[in-house]
A and B are shown apart, each in its own frame.
Chain A
């Protein structure tokens, strides 16, 4: 019946509008397809660039790939996200970060494929830090842990558990203090 169809269509429109408004407010820190980078570090030897992200990974880039001083690397393909982990505990309060300025990124500058993607954290990765020899990286996450990564393997070799809330900062000092600066 036409009336039923109209009424059903109205329900669908209403539900869709509500969903869009709801989703729009949830995407507060996401700009289109781009997921926020929360921290970045260059390795001490300047060979690597690490980005810690809200997509739960740390991406490791070779700076020579980014600068175009190596042989051309394949363009990155988009990853399917594991972003739908069931989260019940709220992450850090919003007032830590001021709202991002809304921008439109018309030409998303395509990056070369990252050298490695460090997967293991269950939630946002807030911070990361290289070892003095650039061979290891520590990362910290809303999953309440920090992890130590062997960068030649791209695998976590230690998990530091004990914090009872998000770990937003990590620092590693393994410098040889006896060496002259």
Chain B
């Protein structure tokens, strides 16, 4: 039976690990000085990455203590996305400082220091969301200008800019595990569903298939609505 790791974090400076089936909290990891904006669990279930403003921290799930294994320093503003390569060889982070970074996760003792920043890409404007293409070779960033940008890790550069057509900042980006579909959510409540045509091109392109309003609830009162 596969083990289940469930992690949550937010504004109380703790990353909580839960027993998913029973609801009990197994562990509280210390995050430190800011809220956590995003977190991810490594595919091999060994690490948890959590990021806030502006720090990114990586934790060893099996360690006895509650402090990070490593602080990944470099971003200067809110880190809005973190994720792992499928074999947990590296992880990525994207930030409102406009940069996308790759962090080496090969074990300590190799020539490159664990958690060192291997690459930095400049998106030109704040990044709000990042997804790693299932091909492991492209990082897809969604940004404050409402554009999708594809960063090709083999060519080591931005390879495509795809306007979303919505004219509103991208809030979230997701790609299905078989890369057949992608979706973006925007600040104005619109969502776009995309297909990624496999027409022999080496650089992924996005074909808009549906643009729609996802949540259309009326505001029903004038009371101060703390958000």
| A positions within 8 Å CB-CB of B | 19, 23, 26-27, 29-31, 33-46, 49, 51, 53-55, 57, 59, 61, 63, 66-68, 76, 78-81, 83-84, 86-93, 95-96, 98, 100-101, 103, 105, 108-111, 124, 126-127, 132, 138, 140, 142, 146, 148, 158-178, 181
Contact = CB atoms under 8 A, between A and B. Distances in A.
Contacts of B78: 95-96
Contacts of A34: 188-190, 213, 215-216
Contact of A159 (B4, B23, B182, B209): B23
A133 B21 CA distance: 16
Nearest to A38: B171
A163 B213 CA distance: 31
B11 A175 contact: no
B126 A165 contact: no
Contacts, number: 277
Given A83-B219, A158-B22, A160-B25, 11 more contacts: A35-B215, A42-B174, A51-B214, A66-B193, A78-B216, A138-B6, A140-B8, A165-B12, A166-B11, A168-B10, A174-B2
The dominant DSSP class at the B interface is loop
A167 B8 CA distance: 7
Most buried by B among A27, A39, A92, A98: A98
Nearest to B224: A26
A147 to B, nearest CB: 10
Contacts of B36: 168-169
30 contacts: A31-B188, A31-B189, A38-B172, A40-B173, A42-B176, A42-B181, A51-B215, A59-B214, A59-B215, A63-B181, A67-B210, A76-B216, A80-B218, A81-B217, A84-B221, A95-B78, A96-B78, A110-B212, A110-B213, A140-B10, A160-B23, A163-B8, A163-B14, A163-B16, A164-B12, A165-B10, A169-B9, A170-B6, A173-B5, A176-B2
